Structure 1
Amino acid sequence: MDDSTRERRRSGRARASLKCAVCVTCQLNEHKATETAQLNTPLPWPGPNRRRRRGGFVYAVVLDDKEGSLVFRFRRKDLFSDDDPPPAPRRFPRPVAHFPRGYYYVFPSSTVCGKQILGVSPFGATVVVDDGGPGCSAMRAGPELGTTMCQPILLPVGDDMVLAMADQAQPGRSNFAVMRRLPGGGWHVVPVPEPPLGGPGDYCRKPAPLVTAYMTIGRRAWVSIAGEGAFSLDAGSGGGAAAWRKEGSWELPLHGQAMYVRELGVAIGLGRGPGPYGGVVLCLCACDVEARPPVIRRSWSETFPRELVDVHSPDDYPGNLVYVGDGRFCISWVIGVHHDRPKTNGMPARTAVVTMAVRLRRSAVGELQLTERGKLRYHLMSPHGRRVYFVQPHIP
């Protein structure tokens, strides 16, 4: 083979490689444009003739390996009605929003802010679903965050702001952003400075700090970061700049999202408590956030049901808590069911979400008491369902 033939073949391979790279880029751009158009398509909302009471629903998000992200709506009274005997396992209702799996628009994190559902993808894309009541609900693409977050966490601050943060702060990138509602109903993104983590140079040498707990107290967002302490953010309402304040070198003794309930005077969340067969589990706890450091004043181990250990094998997800008002909470877990050891090597062939409704009240002498503990309710997920969590509803 002469030199001219070799040169022609090398040139042909180079052009083919360039063509393939261009084709892949074009396909990704076309896919993103198609998904954006789909997000801006009106979404039919079930039950156009039904009378809806504001705040009467709780949303759940299912992450499905085949379908993507699906949003479901549950009536609060169904979660709190005390049937005798308890109802048989049910299937999930019809989804009210569906975000298909794609290259760009994947929304593992969602929250409710006012009458809107906001979703954020790890690539920084956002989506807004308007709960417009009877008739039709609009779903549209929101503003870009301008940064990537592997496992984004969303924390609403009032009904006009949402703090988006990475579950692990990565050096060299923006790990926090605020989405603020515009007067016309749209949203825009406000960059947020990084909290003061570690000393000079330590931030890049230590492992990525993990967000362990978070909640809203008034107009401040509280974030607890492992090995760093607790920080609160004034999100700058009224157009002011966002600013962090270090509350202490301690961490909040809770897990995941907690809720400061003004009428109870404490923060309620999932914290460590004794398990039904020994060991430690995450159960409902009341935390005094006025103390320094904050301490657990009460814990209710009965809110981690023995049935999760007796009958099913718990999944890796430790639990999810939402507050629905009037001292009522809903706790949920993802569990493995329908074991088929020959086919799945002992792993569950299907998963379900288990919910428990509870209620806390102050006694006549001011003691915080668990006054209601509902029966367990089971909802089977699809065979491809991987994870489910309930979204904290907006409490006026």
Structure 2
Amino acid sequence: MASNNNRPLLVVHDDKEGHLVYDLLLLLLDGEAENDAAAAALACFPRPVAHFAASLGLRALAVSGGAVVGAFYRSTTSGATPSSTTPLDTTLFDGHYAFESLRPPVVTGAGGWQTVSLPKPPIVYADGGKELVWVSAYFAVGTRVWISAARKGTFSFDGTWRMEGRWELPFEGRALHVPELGCVIGLAAGTRLLCAYDFVTGKPPVMRRVWTETCPEGCIYTSAGDESRPSRPRDVPSLAYLGNGRFCICRPMSVMEPHPDNFGPPMKYNAASFLVVVLRRSGSGELELVRRGKTSFMCFPKSSQISYIGFIQPAISN
């Protein structure tokens, strides 16, 4: 259940096989000038470093200290033992959520790690609590995590919950606070382009940069809900930090067109694209994209029933 390093890992959920976790080699090739269009290399190990069977009822994944950890619906035992000193950053499936802490056994060697339920954020629900609310964006700084609940606002947690404001974080899914760059890097809401935000506790994030060149070749991204948008692959992208200012964007892809009213059979993916870029601070302190790799692709067998593709990210030191 452990990887050979502390790099981000890729999770692929096959409805028949379960969750497969791959160790990817994603890098910009050495020897390229920083202002050139550097090539990107993608190498996938032939077998997954972890495999959680579909029958286990997996609900969340994390990676810590080189170990892959799974939490299950019918069991509170983790799939592997993480480092006890490293925070976890979990994968969020379909926006549905439950807040838990992962704790070691009281007696060393006495069973696996346990998940302990945490209080829910102070969200005001309509219809006596029957309203469906999902997490649209989240990120962590140290031991505090910020989440946005769609149409409800932004909340943070570090032992107790507090409401930050009625505003929502302006990105989709998990964003990453990168201390060496001094900002939060994520994928902008609607366009899903790589973006940078300044963040001050208690205030809405301030957008600093959006990089249109991180749009995949041949795709035009427009705001969600724009029915005039051109045809494009259906995707739920995720972001990984590779260190030294390098980021990778994973975009699951399908040739299928989504149903016009978002109903119909669940989307199945048959490929994923990967784009590696490098961000740096200029001499004046401005954040710049200094290198962009070529898009790499991973294709899956036609027999696969892939319903999720995304990164799990080791915690970034603050």
- Superposed pair shares fold, TM > 0.5: yes
Corresponding residue to 1:254 among 167, 171, 174? 171
Does 1:209 find its partner at 2:133?
A: yes
Determine the C-alpha separation between the residues in 1 that align with 2:17 and 2:141.
36
TM-superposition CA deviations, 1:66-111 (whole Å, max 9, x none): 21111111124xx333799968998763112222222xx0326311
State the match for 1:177 in structure 2: 100
Does 1:294 find its partner at 2:205?
A: yes
TM-superposition CA deviations, 1:169-194 (whole Å, max 9, x none): 6xxxxx32111345858523333112
Does 1:369 find its partner at 2:288?
A: yes
Deviation at 1:381, TM superposition (A): 1.6
Determine the C-alpha separation between the residues in 2 that align with 1:208 and 1:348.
21
Determine the C-alpha separation between the residues in 2 that align with 1:131 and 1:195.
26
Determine the C-alpha separation between the residues in 1 that align with 2:311 and 2:133.
25
* Higher RCO (C-alpha under 8 Å, 6+ residues apart): 2
Partner SS state of residue 250, structure 1: coil
Corresponding residue to 1:120 among 60, 64, 71? 71
Contact 1:90 1:379 in 2 (8 A): no
Does 1:189 find its partner at 2:115?
A: yes
Contact 1:161 1:181 in 2 (8 A): no
Name stretches of at least 5 consecutive residues in structure 1 with no aligned partner.
1-42, 47-51, 133-156, 170-174, 235-241, 273-279, 340-346
Determine the C-alpha separation between the residues in 1 that align with 2:195 and 2:164.
21
State the match for 2:228 in structure 1: none
1:300 partner amino acid: W
Corresponding residue to 1:225 among 149, 159, 170? 149
Contact 1:163 1:178 in 2 (8 A): no
Which has more radius of gyration?
1
State the match for 1:268 in structure 2: 185
Does 1:81 find its partner at 2:29?
A: yes
Determine the C-alpha separation between the residues in 1 that align with 2:286 and 2:113.
42
Cα 1:162–1:181 change in 2 (3 A) is farther
Deviation at 1:362, TM superposition (A): 0.7
Cα 1:163–1:350 change in 2 (3 A) is closer
Deviation at 1:130, TM superposition (A): 5.2
State the match for 1:330 in structure 2: 248
2:215 partner amino acid: F
Determine the C-alpha separation between the residues in 2 that align with 1:90 and 1:63.
19
How many equivalent residue pairs? 289
Contact 2:71 2:115 in 1 (8 A): no
Partner SS state of residue 236, structure 2: coil
TM-superposition CA deviations, 1:26-82 (whole Å, max 9, x none): xxxxxxxxxxxxxxxxx6x89xxxxx6x43x33111111221111111124xx3337
Contact 2:61 2:69 in 1 (8 A): yes
Indicate the RMSD between aligned Cα atoms, in angstroms. 3.7
1:178 partner amino acid: S
1:120 partner amino acid: A
Give TM-score, length-normalised by structure 2.
0.77
Using the aligned pairs only, state the percent identity: 36
Deviation at 1:338, TM superposition (A): 10
1:244 partner amino acid: W
Give TM-score, length-normalised by structure 1.
0.63
Q: Which has the higher helix share?
A: 1
- For residues 273-284 of structure 1, the aligned pairs below 5 Å read 281-284=191-194
Determine the C-alpha separation between the residues in 2 that align with 1:392 and 1:162.
6
State the match for 2:225 in structure 1: none
Deviation at 1:243, TM superposition (A): 1.0
Cα 1:358–1:108 change in 2 (3 A) is farther
State the match for 1:159 in structure 2: 86
Contact 1:63 1:388 in 2 (8 A): yes
State the match for 1:29 in structure 2: none
Name stretches of at least 5 consecutive residues in structure 2 with no aligned partner.
222-230, 258-265
